[in-house]
C-alpha cells in the first residue's frame, strides 16, 4: 500500500502541474460570477479526472492480468511521456519572444471564457480534467501501480481518491480561495494572472523539462 501510494502521489503531482488548467481556472474565477462558475469548473474538472483515473484503473488491472512484463510496459510509457515533455520544453525555449497566457489564448478567447455560464464552464472543465494523452497516461501509470500492488477494493478506491485530490489541486485551491475570500481573493488572482502572462513562456519550459526528466528517471529505474 505504501509503495503504491508513493507512485500514485508522484504521478498525481505531475498531472497536477498543468499550466493549462491553472490558466483556465483563473480566467473562470475572474468572470462575472466567480463563485458559481468556479464551483461548476471544479466539479467538472474533478469529474473528468475521476473518469480518467477510473479508466486507468481498469486498463491497469487488465495489463496486470494479461501481461507478464507489466513493469516493463509502465517503464516504457513513463520514458516516452518524459521524453515527449523534454522535447516540448526545449522546443518552447527555442521560440524567441514567446509571450502570452500559457495556453496561447488571444484576448478574444479570454473574453469569451470570462463570459461563460456555469454549464459551459462545467463542460469545458470535464474535458480538461480528463485531459489529453499525457494526463491519461499518467492516470494509467498511477492506477497501474495500484493494480500491481494487488490491494483490496477499499485500498484501491482510497488511492484513486488520493490521485484525484492531488491531480486537481491547482484548480481546487484557486476555487476554494474565491469561495472563502470572495472579491478580495479575485483581486489576488488578478496578480496571479499578470504573473502568468509575463512568465508563461519560461514556466512552460521549466515545467515541461522538469517533469519530463522526473518521468525519464522513473522509466529508466523500472527498465533497468
Overall domain count for the chain? 1
Average confidence (pLDDT) over 26-44: 87
pLDDT tens profile 120-150: 888 889 988 998 888 888 998 888 888 777 7
Which tops the pLDDT comparison, 210 or 57? 210
Range of the domain at 179: 2-223
Question: Does position 38 have pLDDT exceeding 50, yes or no?
Answer: yes
Neighbours of 107 (CB within 10 A): 8
Average confidence (pLDDT) over 161-174: 93
Average confidence (pLDDT) over 48-65: 81
Which tops the pLDDT comparison, 64 or 195? 195
pLDDT tens profile 76-118: 888 989 998 898 888 866 665 444 444 454 455 555 666 678 8
State the pLDDT at residue 113: 65
Amino acid at each position: 500500500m505504501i509503495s503504491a501510494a508513493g507512485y500514485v502521489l508522484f504521478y498525481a503531482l505531475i498531472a497536477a502541474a498543468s499550466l493549462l488548467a491553472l490558466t483556465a481556472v483563473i480566467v473562470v474565477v475572474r468572470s462575472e460570477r466567480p463563485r458559481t462558475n468556479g464551483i461548476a469548473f471544479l466539479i467538472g474538472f474533478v469529474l473528468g479526472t475521476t473518469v480518467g483515473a477510473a479508466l486507468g484503473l481498469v486498463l491497469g488491472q487488465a495489463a496486470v492480468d494479461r501481461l507478464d512484463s507489466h513493469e516493463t510496459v509502465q517503464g516504457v510509457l513513463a520514458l516516452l511521456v518524459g521524453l515527449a515533455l523534454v522535447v516540448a520544453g526545449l522546443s518552447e525555449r527555442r521560440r524567441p519572444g514567446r509571450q502570452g497566457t500559457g495556453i496561447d489564448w488571444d484576448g478574444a478567447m479570454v473574453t469569451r471564457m470570462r463570459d461563460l455560464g456555469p454549464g459551459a464552464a462545467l463542460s469545458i472543465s470535464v474535458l480538461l480534467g480528463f485531459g489529453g494523452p499525457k494526463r491519461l497516461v499518467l492516470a494509467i501509470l498511477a492506477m497501474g501501480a495500484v493494480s500491481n500492488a494487488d490491494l483490496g477494493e477499499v485500498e484501491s478506491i482510497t488511492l484513486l481518491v488520493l490521485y484525484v485530490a492531488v491531480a486537481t489541486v491547482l484548480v481546487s485551491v484557486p476555487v476554494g480561495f474565491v469561495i472563502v475570500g470572495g472579491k478580495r481573493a479575485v483581486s489576488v488572482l488578478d496578480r496571479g494572472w499578470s504573473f502568468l502572462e509575463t512568465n508563461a513562456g519560461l514556466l512552460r519550459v521549466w515545467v515541461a523539462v522538469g517533469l519530463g526528466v522526473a518521468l525519464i528517471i522513473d522509466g529508466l529505474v523500472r527498465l533497468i
